[in-house]
Amino acid sequence: MEPIITIRNLSKSYGDKTVLNNINLEIFPGQIIGYIGPNGAGKSTTVKILTGIIDDYSGEVTVAGKELRANVLEVKRMTGYVPELAELYDLLTPREYLSFIGRLYHLPEDVIAARAQKMLDSFGLGSNMDQRMDSFSKGMRQKVLLTSGLLHNPSIVILDEPLSGLDANAVIMVKELLQVLKQEGKTIFYCSHMMDVVEKVSDRIMLIDKGNIIANGTIAELRANTNDSLEQIFAKLTSTEDLQDRADAIATALQNKDNG
Ligand SMILES: Nc1ncnc2c1ncn2[C@@H]1O[C@H](COP(=O)(O)OP(=O)(O)OP(=O)(O)O)[C@@H](O)[C@H]1O
């Protein structure tokens, strides 16, 4: 099978700071990829490149056989992106917002209206279609964002902390939804710090640290015959100091009267 996304020798710097250091990845269709790494590792930068937001990188990115920079509109059409902490136009209602997003993707009005209604009904927001989103809770906004990222039925879905703010039932529903999308052959690139969820949902886990891919495999491969959880694997691979010592140091800093 051909990879749907191929990343070759991808590097990106801000000034003299290297943020992605010659990374190579192949992502196959119909898989859920858990993309994990410590704060500042380069996850969002990778996602911004894959979604065409950043284009001043070196190396080669190919999506569905097309070179990304030369075919960015086509790639955007086949990609759905749900960013973390995204700004919604919250003076709009979900109906207005989703209509606006759908038109950006050239979807017919009736298709937008039907999909938006069905998806928001499923999220339990059907009766909020005509309410301004400035009154919405974090979880309600997240549901609208998920809907907007999927509205054009993309074959690649890029999710950044998609469960952020969702209640327990919505979390179960979104995890189920990921499985359904996968069964339809869609590729899901799932960035998260929630190791227990990543461990459960991902077919393959890619771990980035300081701009380098330091692990890439199934959870069984990453475990390498240990019984470690993904959280333990993550700590072993990315942490140089004892985390308990660091927590103690933070608590001690608070107790120190000299600090004001
Ligand atoms: N616009 C920018 N200008 C300068 N440096 C940046 C810029 N955006 C990101 N960086 C730097 O690039 C590095 C990687 O950032 P990135 O946002 O990709 O990390 P991340 O893995 O997504 O982290 P987090 O888990 O905290 O979201 C960080 O050191 C960050 O400070």
Which amino acids bring their CB within 6 angstroms of ligand 1?
14, 19, 37, 39-45
Type and span of the H or E element at 208: strand 204-209
pTM value? 0.89
Q: Contact at 8 Å (CB) between 151 and 100?
A: no
Distances from the Cα of 246 to the Cαs of 37, 39, 70, 234, 240, in angstroms? 18, 16, 46, 17, 11
Instruction: Give tens-digit pLDDT for 204-217.
Output: 999 999 999 999 99
Domain ranges of the chain: 1-78+156-161+190-254
Measured in Å, residue 209 CA sits from the centre of ligand 1 at 12
Per-residue confidence of the chain (260 residues) as pLDDT tens digits? 899 999 999 999 999 999 999 999 999 999 999 999 999 999 999 999 999 999 999 999 999 999 999 999 999 999 999 988 667 788 999 999 999 999 999 999 999 999 999 999 999 999 999 999 999 988 899 999 999 999 999 999 999 998 888 889 889 988 999 999 999 999 999 999 999 999 999 999 999 999 999 999 999 999 887 888 899 889 888 877 677 788 888 888 888 766 55
Distance CA 234, CA 252 (A): 26
Q: Quick one: how far is CA 75 from the chain centroid?
A: 17
Instruction: Give tens-digit pLDDT for 65-105.
Output: 999 999 999 999 999 999 886 677 889 999 999 999 999 99
Left if phi > 0, otherwise alpha if psi is -120 to 50, otherwise beta: which for 153? left
Residue bearing the CA closest to ligand 1, atom 2:
14
Q: Contact at 8 Å (CB) between 23 and 7?
A: yes
Q: Among positive and negative, which fits the CA dihedral 154, 157, 161, 162?
A: positive
Distance CA 41, CA 66 (A): 27
Whether this model's ipTM surpasses 0.95 comes out as yes
Instruction: Tokens 């995890």: give the residue.
Output: 175
The closest of 182, 185, 183, 159 to 171, measured between CA atoms, is 159
Distance CA 242, CA 193 (A): 19
1-78+156-161+190-254: CATH class: alpha beta
Measured in Å, residue 172 CA sits from the centre of ligand 1 at 30
Q: Among positive and negative, which fits the CA dihedral 228, 231, 232, 234?
A: positive
Residue bearing the CA closest to ligand 1, atom 28:
40
Distances from the Cα of 3 to the Cαs of 149, 169, 220, in angstroms? 22, 34, 21
Residue bearing the CA closest to ligand 1, atom 7:
14
Type and span of the H or E element at 5: strand 5-14
